[in-house]
Chains A and B, each alone.
Chain A
């Protein structure tokens, strides 16, 4: 076990800790959710994180995208995020891929799960299809204002993202701010780890709805 993970030792069995340190993660989109996911996954000590994005850092990103500052404006997001994460000098390998997710995207061979860090459903549906074709689990999250939802889609899931969220995209740009984004990404990481480390109560055919105005989380049964 990596020495800096000592304080989480009691949370996991030895087998789970070994599984955790071997995990290879793909983060699709290094915006608000993606940068928060990367920070959490690096801290829990996964083996490798692939960061995917094709955008450059903009001023309006800085209210929630935790790997960037004003000096990064105009830089490719994945480059700035990888540099930021590597500064911590922890042992998780960080790989930056400056490319747009499409059906032509080649998913690295050793990936254990794909994280949704996207900001629109059209892109998410493509990501979900990629996960299906590559027989990989995929964990979706969307955040808007004080509300969010999380859904784990397994390779064997009959219900895909589009089955639940068709018709979800709208014209307005969603309002997003840091505390709600961080909570959502953290729960997304937790839910993914519960599945990957074989805890009993992971999200199966359920949508987790997060209402931070009412301080409530509720599971919606999907099947």
Chain B
């Protein structure tokens, strides 16, 4: 089973895509995944998920199998085939 990447909210609407699947040849980091997604989506994810200093931008969530990467190893979190990565800007209002 491939790596599954799911897009929600504005990511899904802006990209007109619910997500992608990648057959990986071995583990990669979340940072590498963002760069891989950039190739398929014209640089969109670096713009949305990363600050200019390369850290994770506030206001966006990256979940690996339901866990926020902030509590894992951040952008260095390793992922592989069969993992599910969920990307979305959470809704903050009330």
State the A residues within 8 Å of B (CB).
Answer: 29, 31-34, 116-121, 141-145, 147-149, 159, 163-170, 173-176, 181, 205, 209, 211, 213-214, 218, 220-223
A119:B94 contact, CB within 8 angstroms: yes
Instruction: State the Cβ distance, B4 to closest chain A Cβ, in Å.
Output: 11
A168:B92 contact, CB within 8 angstroms: yes
A147:B91 contact, CB within 8 angstroms: yes
User: For window 43-91 of chain B, which residues contact chain A by CB distance below 8 Å?
Assistant: 56, 58-61, 63, 65-68, 70-71, 84, 86, 88-91
Q: How many contacts A-B (CB < 8 Å)? A: 102
A31:B92 contact, CB within 8 angstroms: no
Expressed in whole angstroms, the Cα–Cα distance for A31 and B94 within the complex equals 6
Expressed in whole angstroms, the Cα–Cα distance for A31 and B10 within the complex equals 24
Check if B22 is an interface residue, CB within 8 A of chain A: no
B93:A176 contact, CB within 8 angstroms: yes
In-complex Cβ contact of A143 among B12, B70, B91 (8 A): B91
In-complex Cβ contact of A32 among B13, B58, B94 (8 A): B94
In-complex Cβ contact of B8 among A29, A118, A163, A211 (8 A): A211
A169:B66 contact, CB within 8 angstroms: no
B92:A119 contact, CB within 8 angstroms: yes
Chain B residue nearest to A205 (CB atoms) is B66
A166:B70 contact, CB within 8 angstroms: yes
A141:B58 contact, CB within 8 angstroms: no
Chain A residues within an 8 Å CB radius of B63 = 164, 220, 222
Instruction: State the Cβ distance, B73 to closest chain A Cβ, in Å.
Output: 14
B67:A165 contact, CB within 8 angstroms: no
Chain B residues within an 8 Å CB radius of A116 = 94
Expressed in whole angstroms, the Cα–Cα distance for A174 and B84 within the complex equals 28
In-complex Cβ contact of B61 among A32, A145, A168 (8 A): A168
